Amino acid sequence: MPQPLKILLVSAEVAPIVSTGELGRSVGGLAKALKSLEVDIRVVMPRYQNANIGLLSLVRLVPEMMIRTVDRFKNTAIYRDELPGEVPVYLVEKDRYFERDYLYGPPGEAYADNVERFCFFNLASLEMFTQIGFFPDVIHCHDWHTGLIPAYLKTLFHHDPLYAPIKTLFTVHDLRHQGCFPKESLSVTGLPETVFTPAGLEFYGDLCFLKSGIVYADILSTESKRYRQDIQTKEWGRGLEGVFQMRSKDLYGVVNGVDYGQYDPRLDPHIVANYTKDDLANKRACKLNLLESCGLKPQVNMPVIAMIAPLHEDKGIDVLIDAFDEMMKLPIRFVFLNDTEDRNTRYASKFGELMGKYRRHVRCYTEYDEQLKHKILAGADIIVFPFQSEPCGINQMYALKYGTIPLVRATGGLDDTVTEFSLESGKGTGFKFVDYTAEAFLTSLREALAVYDNRTLWDLLQANAMRVNYSWVYSAKKYLDLYKLVLNRQKIPDSTNGNGGK
């Protein structure tokens, strides 16, 4: 019987231990799904202060381990715990770096020593193999915090026969965060100066962790097929489009999965009445409850349009605001919920003005509310995503499960996970628009409302939506294919794979 694949996921965040957003949820969900596919899956992350540690069986596995490759980092300890689904997780201890109030820095800031913190984490994640007796077939690195691992394997660990067979997959979750530091930081990493070139990890004069992962990993992935295309353009590549173009043959798009455990209308404890795809009668009760909770008049036949999104510029807040007066001429109610703990004061103030202007029809909640999020998913008729960019997104996938129809801009994962509803064929799960303008958004909204007014078409559309399944197991199977692909291909040449440009 063949031995199971040995995969190590390396990430700065892993849910449910610690997660600030989609990165942690993705890694935690993927790990659990890979375990169900009989992969020998393990996870490593930093041991942060106040993290949700001790889930099942926390032990101090390696009391003291010397970091041998870079003297400055000295010693560490490795803890072992388990994620739900019996997935081993290793936690790298270093109070000097991780016993802090925040993961990366106070809101809007970054710790000045982040280069040291994550160099240490990358090296410790590799050096622990000899201590725990586990050498993976593939190391799956996530985002900039792990970007030096592929470079270390091709330099400092290159001649070690225990490390030489290991392949790497580097997943880019979000290009907004790149891990760039002054050139002088190279001395902290222990990497040779030969890697600091435009074909290596130099990025407009800085040392870039994200570029290191892109250049040195054996294979790359993003959170969706469309985002894979987007990041190869000047508009969305954030200066790295040339590198992605050079590595396009090694770049794959895999849509994130979602965990329906807490987002399923059949079982959701946060909604007033549960319902199924075969019986949506109670969705009407959920709509009435949402209106009541928001203090809006309970007119159940008037469509409720919702938006659940962070108060971030790239989430289409400006497009929504530009469209708002025209949108309010339509026979609708509108509910907005901020989907993060962060609060952009400029946008929050603007939403306050709009709610005051249209008090009878609008509610805007700029503080996150978990229970209200569930009520909106179950009680709204249409949920809008006029986003400028979105690597993948999860709320549109949750909305489909609840029979709440997504209206999305055709970008990134939104384009991959929502299919345009066709009046002729009756196929499709939502509505799309392309141009990032208020006019395009309003045109699509009017089309959606026209379908809403046709009960037969709307029932069909809801049925289509609720049949869609984006469980993590499907995404995990795609990643399993990538692991096998990289293990079966010829060895990629050392150093930079011939990539040029910034």
Is 60 exceeded by the pLDDT of residue 350? yes
Is 70 exceeded by the pLDDT of residue 498? no
Closest by alpha carbon to 470, among 415, 417, 428? 417
**pLDDT value for 53:** 72
Report angle CA 164, 167, 170 to the nearest 5 degrees.
135
Characterize the bridge pairing of strands 304-309 and 75-83. Answer: unpaired
Q: Where are the beta strands (DSSP E) in 223-321?
A: 251-253, 304-309
Fold exhibited by the domain 6-257+474-488: Rossmann fold (3.40.50)
Q: Which DSSP string do the residues of 362-378 spell out, in sequence order? A: EEEE-S--HHHHHHHHH
More confident residue, 342 or 371: 371
Is 90 exceeded by the pLDDT of residue 374? yes
**pLDDT value for 500:** 38
Average pLDDT over residues 158-173: 97
CA pair distance 415, 236, nearest whole angstrom: 15
Cβ within 8 Å of residue 103, ≥6 positions away: 12, 13, 18, 20, 48
In contact, 424 and 242? CB cutoff 8 Å: no
pLDDT band at 56 (very low <50, low <70, confident <90, very high): low
> Domain coordinates of the chain in residue numbers?
6-257+474-488, 281-469
**pLDDT value for 494:** 40
pLDDT band at 501 (very low <50, low <70, confident <90, very high): very low
CA pair distance 419, 402, nearest whole angstrom: 16
State yes or no: cis peptide before 88, omega within 30 of 0.
no
In contact, 369 and 341? CB cutoff 8 Å: no
Q: What is the number of residues in the chain?
A: 502
Structure token digits, residue 157: 């660990």
**pLDDT value for 493:** 41
Structure token digits, residue 494: 């050392």
More confident residue, 273 or 490: 273
The two domains 6-257+474-488 and 281-469 share their CATH topology (first three levels equal): yes
Q: Which DSSP string do the residues of 228-247 spell out, in sequence order? A: HHHTTSTTTSTT-HHHHHHT
**pLDDT value for 496:** 36
pLDDT per position as a tens digit, 418-454: 999 999 999 999 999 999 999 999 999 999 999 999 9
Average pLDDT over residues 297-316: 94
Q: Is 227 exposed, middle or buried (0-12, 13-18, 19+ CB in 10 A)?
A: buried
In percent, the amount of the chain with pLDDT more than 90 equals: 90
Rounded alpha-carbon distances, angstroms, from residue 306 to 285, 362, 394, 493: 17, 10, 15, 50
Phi, then psi, of 465 in degrees rounded to 5: -65, -45
Question: What CATH number should be reported for the domain whose range is 281-469?
Answer: 3.40.50.2000
**pLDDT value for 1:** 61
CA pair distance 336, 449, nearest whole angstrom: 18
Helix runs in 294-343, H state only: 317-327
Is 50 exceeded by the pLDDT of residue 2? yes
In contact, 19 and 48? CB cutoff 8 Å: no
Q: For the whole model, what pTM was predicted?
A: 0.93
CA pair distance 13, 122, nearest whole angstrom: 13
